[in-house]
Structures are given as structure tokens and as C-alpha cells.
Structure 1
Amino acid sequence: MRDDKPQWAKAMEKPPFANGRFTEAMKREVMSRAGGGGKRSRARIVRTWVAAGLLVPAAAALLLVIGPFWSGEGGAGQRGGIGAGNSSASVAAAGEAYDEQGRLLFTLSPDPNARAGETAGYLFSFTAPLETFMRRTLTIKAQHVATGEEETLSSASISRPSSGYEGLERYAVRFALPLGGEWRIRVLLDDRLYGQLMLNMPDSSWTPSPLFASGAYEMRGVDRRVGILDVPFTAGQAQKAMWHFWGSRDELNGSFTVKAVKEGSDELITVFKTNPILSSNALAGAINGADRHIPTMIELPEAGKWRLLPYVRGRLLDSVVVEAK
């Protein structure tokens, strides 16, 4: 009989402990570490385990609800918060944001397959009533903890609730982050900080992006998303790169910038940029089966693998990994 269960369902069947169960020794260790906190610490442990018992079935239900929003199957994201995880994590962890009184403001559930440099889905669930957000601009920004690099991920005026809900319980956005590691995700209302949490973004593969055919040419990149004509890159020499993009007018209208990061580094360098004043709509029209295109000259300063990061109007699209000889 064929096993039709998806990968995330199989992953949830496995116990979360290395030896298959929570042992008495583990229990004594937890209580021993908390012993210095007195009754308050022990009460906090009880509340934590009760909350965990409630969150497990809730998380399973959430996976069923938002599964279609994610681009593919993968392991369920682990619960996380400020300071959770590290740059070597394989799954982007869910997070929670609280106010100064300890009240939950919102949660963030990333696509389990989310990786640096790749567009993925992220689900924000806000607890406040809709009136808190109506006719206000909700902006989501991110700051890379290690480098200080800042990204604006989304900005929209709120005029209606999430479909099927009374509030913003299912506020879905899609974006890409250029670097792996910890990111501080900040939510602003009318440019004032509403809440923040930490998101640990796994790095993506440094294997050169695959080739795909479009029109009469072979391109390297993400099929039906972004691609460049396959050309060799030589370190220290400028190389013409013809970019091709697929997407909506709103997504592809605006100034154009290409940044790059080398494997093993977190330093982003700008390798191409149009004048934002003279090129408010930098990408040219359809060609070679793509919706838009633009020719560029790109120089990569060192040999090695590089991730090319194209931005339109300050928003990162998907990336292309190339190797400079």
C-alpha cells in the first residue's frame, strides 16, 4: 500500500526527543535549572508546558489552513521567538511578538521551505481587532542582525479584514531576504513601531542556479520568475548580463538595482544600479518569452560563487547563483 502522507505529516509523527520520550532525568534537569527562581519560576514552567500542550494541536491545524499558501511541502517550522535559532538552521522558525505587558500582538509563520534569496510566503496573525489597523498603513521591515542591512518587505493601507475572518488573523505576504541568519522583523503602523520579533532565515544552496529554456535561449535562474542569459563570469572583468523577469506590472515597475553576495560572506555589494529619478520604470518590455527585460554590465570582484540579487523599487525578487572564474 502506498504511503500518501506529505512530508510535514510524517515529520510530526516523530517524537521531539532524541531518545523518543521525555525522561525523568530530563524532567529533573529542567526543574534543577529553574530551582533558583522559587515559586514564580516553577509556576512559569507549568504555564509553559500547558501552553505547549495547547500549541501543538493548534500548529497542526494551522498547517492544514495555510498549506495552499506555501509554495511547497516541507518540515513544519519549530516554535521560536527573540533570539531563537542560529544561522545554520534548516527551517525558518515561527515567532511571536508581545507588548510591554506580555500580551501577544501577533505571530509569524513562515513557509517551511523559506530560504535566503528566495521568494516565499509568510503568514502574520494579528490578535488586535480590525479597528486597530483600519485606514492605517501597515509596513513590514527587516534588519539583518549581523550586518545592519535593512529591507522594506511590504507596505499597504488596511481597508478590509482577512478573507473569512473578522480581523487580520491571516495577513499573508510574500517576500525574499538576501542573507541567511537572524533578522529583526518590525511591524509599523503609520511609521510607528507596533511590534517586533526575530526570524532566523536558513541559507539557501550555493549550487549555481539551474538552466531553463525561454524563447530560443537558455537562461540561468528561476523558471518563469527571473533569469539571465547564460554567460561566463570572470573575476574582475565586466560582463554583459541580460535580465529577464516574469510578473505583474505592479511588481516589475520601478527603479532597478542588482546586489551581490559571495559564498561565505555577509557583505552585500551593489554591482548595478539605474538612476531612480531618470528610470522610474527601468525594465523594458517583453522579450524571449519574458514579461520584462533589462541589459546590464556586472563585474564580480573575486572568483567564487556569487548570489545575484535583483531589486525592483527596493524589493528583492528571486536570486540567481553564478560562479566567477
Structure 2
Amino acid sequence: MIEALPGGDLQAGLPAGAWWNLNLPKEDLAGKTIRIDALHDSTGTRLTELVPTKLTEANRYKDSLFRISSRLALPLPGVWTFQIYLDDLSTGSVDIEVPDGSWEPSTAFRSGTFEMTGVPDKLGILGPNFVAGKPNKYMWHFWGEPEKLTGQLEISAMKQGTNTLLSLFHAQLAPGKLNGADASMPSNLMLPSEGRWRLLAFIDGELLGSIVVDVAAQ
């Protein structure tokens, strides 16, 4: 009745994309609004996988099959339960096992006249090396379409070997060219302990991507 087809590069910390197949009578689908919520089984972390979206004839894949896509960008590894709602009525659920992403430190790349750390043409951070317990200023850079870079920016972090998300920073993001990027945001960040950390950037609750950094002892 409900089938999830995740992208082949599914891993925690990175958008993978997914197709959702709804094999229901067409009269039960056309014109209805679908929403998909996600629950991380071991921590109780909740997020919206697909905001309320109206199903139209454009979503018809076969006579009795409707198909819709989502970003499938999940911050934590483990089992996630996806609950599907049609017009706010629970229709079914799908469980997906999400493998952990790479913990190799993110690479350095050059944009404009600066060298930053992150994912070229996606997101990067400019600033000093991280030292445990020491706050410092860091400039975030983002690439993409203006509508995707407008909204509430949240930076969270997870330490290697844990499943706890630590919220670090919130601000309203808007497009604006800087250092070759399409949007940027100054931030004041502090990671509490030494070790390897994954920084996760969300815009309006959607995971844009992640950066892995090493944090030195103070």
C-alpha cells in the first residue's frame, strides 16, 4: 500500500532523496493532502519529512499508483519510523534503517579568496580550529537556489559515538552573495568537549548537509 524508495547514498547527515509510492484507489488520493512525519526510534527525535503537499494528477505514476518525492535528509543513524497522513488521517507507516555517515573530517576548499571547510558548492564554514569549551566566531556559507536559502537557520552538532543532537545556533537566513557563496551567516559556536563532531545545518527544519570537524582539548 505504501512503499519508500530511498536514494542509494542514504546515510545520516546527508540528503539522499526518496520516492514514496502510494498504491491506493485513485479516488482515495487525488486532491488530498499528504504529510510525512519521521520519528527516530531510539531517541524520540521528531521531524517533518514532507510538509503538507496536495496530490494532483501530476503525481499519478500508474492508474492506481501515486508517487511523490522528499529529501530524506536525516540527522541521526538508526531506525526511523515514517508516518504517512492523508488529510491529517494516519494512513500507514514505513520503517527505514539509516546507516551512519562518514566521520572523516570534511575537506578544505577555496571559494573566492578564502579557504573554508565543508562541501564544495553546498556549504562551508570559515573560522579558526575548534577548541573544546572555547566559543569563537565562524562564518557559514551556503550555495543553492534563493528559495532554498531563505528561512530559519539552525546549526546542531553530534559527537562521534553518541546519538545526542546539541543545538548551537539559530538565526534567520536570507540570500546574499559573499565569498562566492549564495548566502552566508556569521555565528558564535562552542563545542563542549574534545573529539570528532558533526555539524548539521538545517533551514526551516530541513537538513541541508553536514560538516565533520575535530575539536582539540583546551
Change (3 A) 1:287 1:165: farther
Name 2:194's counterpart in structure 1: 303
Contact 1:139 1:154 in 2 (8 A): yes
Read off the aligned partner of 1:215 and give its amino acid letter.
G
Partner deviation per Cα, 1:201-251 (whole Å, 9 max, x = no partner): 000111111122211111211111111115300010112111111122322
> Is 2:52 aligned against 1:152?
no
| Worse-matched range after superposition: 163-172 or 303-312 | 163-172
Contact 2:141 2:183 in 1 (8 A): yes
Change (3 A) 1:284 1:123: closer
Task: List gaps (5 residues or longer) in structure 1.
Answer: 1-104
Name 1:239's counterpart in structure 2: 136
Q: Which structure shows the higher strand fraction?
A: 2
Q: Which structure shows the higher helix fraction?
A: 1
Read off the aligned partner of 2:6 and give its amino acid letter.
P
> Is 2:181 aligned against 1:290?
yes
How many matched pairs?
A: 215
Give how far 1:129 is off. Answer: 3.2
Distance in 2, matches of 1:110 and 1:264, equals: 25
Name 1:133's counterpart in structure 2: 29
Change (3 A) 1:224 1:191: same
Partner SS, residue 224 of structure 1: coil
Aligned pairs for 1:53-68 within 5 A: none
Name the larger-Rg structure: 1
Partner deviation per Cα, 1:237-283 (whole Å, 9 max, x = no partner): 11211111112232221111111110000011101113xxxx4xx23
Distance in 2, matches of 1:191 and 1:177, equals: 23
Partner of residue 268 from structure 1, selected from 156, 165, 168: 165
Structure having greater relative contact order (Cα 8 Å, sep ≥ 6): 2
Name 1:171's counterpart in structure 2: 68
Contact 1:255 1:312 in 2 (8 A): yes
Contact 2:80 2:95 in 1 (8 A): yes
Name 2:9's counterpart in structure 1: 113
Distance in 2, matches of 1:304 and 1:160, equals: 51
The alignment-based identity, stated in percent, is: 37
Partner deviation per Cα, 1:134-154 (whole Å, 9 max, x = no partner): 232211111110000011121
Distance in 2, matches of 1:239 and 1:166, equals: 57
Read off the aligned partner of 2:8 and give its amino acid letter.
P
Partner SS, residue 130 of structure 2: coil
Contact 1:284 1:294 in 2 (8 A): no
Task: List gaps (5 residues or longer) in structure 2.
Answer: none
Partner of residue 319 from structure 1, selected from 165, 186, 210: 210
Which TM-score applies when normalising by structure 1? 0.63
